[in-house]
Amino acid sequence: MQRQFYILDVFAEQKYAGNQLAVIRHGAGLSSEEMLAITREMNYSESTFLLSEEKRDGGYDVRIFTPGGEVPFAGHPTLGTAWLIQQEIIQQPVSRVVLNYQVGQIPVDFTYKNGQPDEVWMQQLEPQFGATFPAAAVAEVLGLPADQIDQRFPCQEVSTG
């Protein structure tokens, strides 16, 4: 089966800028290993695989891969993939596109100017707060002097997906 793929520039005001993203359509027939191989071939920080062009439970099924493996959620791939769905599948202005990920549904909202998407933003999941780390250890890992870490704020692992 032939599959279409798109190269997008996310967070960009012009071509060949921003964060690159590969979006592969009709990905349902691919194994995880094939998705990883395609992602490595594309050689971008992330690639997404649109599993179906039909909604399931109100959203579109998507998987995200980095060259190191699958990830449950990531920001710029979410925005870019939702934009592509609006432009290429829905093909008309909509206020929201929902993506189904391993972490759950992520809504992506659109505003328009002259009939074209002007702003695209997402609602992330509630943050999960993990371990805290000594500021001195974080500074050392980053190669910074310890006084460059503001002690008023914790160095903490936080995830929204």
Indicate if 99 and 139 belong to the same structural domain.
Answer: no
Token pair listed for 120: 């695209």
Tell me how many domains the chain contains: 2
Comparing CA positions, the residue from 70, 53, 72 lying closest to residue 61 is 53
Is the pTM here over 0.75, yes or no? yes
Indicate if 143 and 88 belong to the same structural domain.
Answer: no
Indicate if 106 and 147 belong to the same structural domain.
Answer: no
Range of the domain at 134: 128-159
Indicate if 115 and 134 belong to the same structural domain.
Answer: no
Indicate if 132 and 85 belong to the same structural domain.
Answer: no
- Is the per-residue pLDDT at 6 higher than 80? yes
How far is Cα 32 from Cα 38, in angstroms, rounded to an integer?
10
Indicate if 118 and 136 belong to the same structural domain.
Answer: no
Mean pLDDT of the chain: 94
Indicate if 75 and 149 belong to the same structural domain.
Answer: no
- Is the per-residue pLDDT at 14 higher than 90? no
Burial class of residue 126 in the structure, from the number of CB atoms within 10 Å of its CB (0-12 exposed, 13-18 middle, 19+ buried):
exposed
Indicate if 146 and 85 belong to the same structural domain.
Answer: no
- Cβ contacts of residue 45 below 8 Å, gap of 6+? 19, 20, 66, 67
Is-catalytic flag, 46?
A: yes
- Cβ contacts of residue 114 below 8 Å, gap of 6+? none
Indicate if 118 and 132 belong to the same structural domain.
Answer: no
pLDDT of residue 1: 72
Indicate if 136 and 61 belong to the same structural domain.
Answer: no
- Is the per-residue pLDDT at 66 higher than 90? yes
Q: Which of 33, 46, 70, 157 is catalytic?
A: 46
The domain that holds 70 is classified in CATH as: 3.10.310.10
Indicate if 132 and 113 belong to the same structural domain.
Answer: no
Indicate if 17 and 47 belong to the same structural domain.
Answer: yes
> What length is written for the chain?
161
Stretch 31-54: mean pLDDT: 97
